[in-house]
Amino acid sequence: MKIEVEPDDDAVARKAAAIIATEARAAIAARGRFIVAVSGGHTPWLMLRAFANEQLLWENVHVVQVDERAAPAGDPERNDTQAQEALLGVLPLDPARVHRFPDPDGPLGDDPEAAAEAYARELAAAATPEDHGPVPQFDVFMLGVGEEGHTASIFPETPAAHDQRPVVAVRGCPKPPPTRLSLTFPSIGAATEVWLATTGVEKAGAVALALGGAGAVQIPAAGAQGRARTLWLLDRAAASKLPPELVRLPIT
């Protein structure tokens, strides 16, 4: 595990974009593809916007949506609407390599369980034998952290925190909208690297709990871990409740 602390949210986004671009170039050179999973939220959105400015072989980049809100296509509340604005709509990505959750206006209608199953099948089809699982082995899994410690759309003390399926429908979320779709801990754990990026003093308590030994059911962000590395990207406000020995502030 590694913790990076930057002065503010823009600096976090710039740092993340630089790191992920380096990871992407290395993956494309070695394996011909780079697979990034992206969640919703303010800080991941800033990271995507900064990442879009990097020079990459974008046609070799796979983008996988981590979670989604039950809202019509194009609704500003949908995570893919934000991703479209920040990244998907401004780059020469191969549409076959962009994986989005079904929306309620599609052929599955307003059936989140069916949508979760359909998305699980799509990810399984994108996986190769070398991935050894029901989802691709993501190179980087980008997550945010909520004020109460949720990540993706896995909220504290909810069934999604226990579910072993790769994708689930989430009902009764404590934050609106109450119905969502989300990848689960087993899918997150398939990633080589998991990044948790969050900013703001309102997140400091959840960050401190997650890095202080809380369980994944109590604080889901604590359960998001990569195979090779788990990277926390914080601004100073979000890191303000961490013990000093955990934090290495950048030189200013």
| CATH number for the domain that contains residue 205 | 3.40.50.1360
Q: Is the pLDDT of residue 251 over 70?
A: no
Q: Is the pLDDT of residue 152 over 70?
A: yes
Share of the chain above pLDDT 90, in %: 73
Domain extent for 222: 2-246
DSSP H or E run through 125: helix 112-126
Give the residue-averaged pLDDT of 30-44.
Answer: 91
Does the residue 251 lie in any domain? no
Bridging pattern class, strands 34-38 and 140-143 = parallel
Q: Is the pLDDT of residue 252 over 50?
A: no
Does the residue 55 lie in any domain? yes
Output 110 or 19, whichever has higher pLDDT. 19
Does the residue 158 lie in any domain? yes
Can you tell me the distance from the alpha carbon of 31 to that of 14, in angstroms, rounded to the nearest whole number?
26
Does the residue 22 lie in any domain? yes
Q: pLDDT class for 235, splitting at 50, 70, 90?
A: very high
Does the residue 115 lie in any domain? yes
Residues 160-194 pLDDT 10s: 999 999 999 999 998 888 999 999 999 999 999 99
Q: Which two tokens stand for residue 235?
A: 């601004």
Bridging pattern class, strands 67-69 and 180-183 = antiparallel
Q: Is the pLDDT of residue 62 over 80?
A: yes
Q: Is the alpha carbon torsion for 221, 192, 131, 18 positive or negative?
A: positive
- Beta strands across the sheet bearing 67-69: 67-69, 180-183, 167-170
Does the residue 68 lie in any domain? yes
Number of domains in the chain: 1
> What is the rounded average pLDDT for all residues in the chain?
92
> Based on the number of CB atoms within 10 Å of its own CB, is 132 exposed (0-12), middle (13-18) or buried (19 or more)?
exposed
Contacts of 232 (CB under 8 A, 6+ apart): 1, 2, 3, 4, 195, 196, 197, 207, 211
Does the residue 118 lie in any domain? yes
pLDDT for res 180: 95
Q: Which two tokens stand for residue 62?
A: 């796979």
Does the residue 252 lie in any domain? no
Q: Which two tokens stand for residue 38?
A: 């992206």
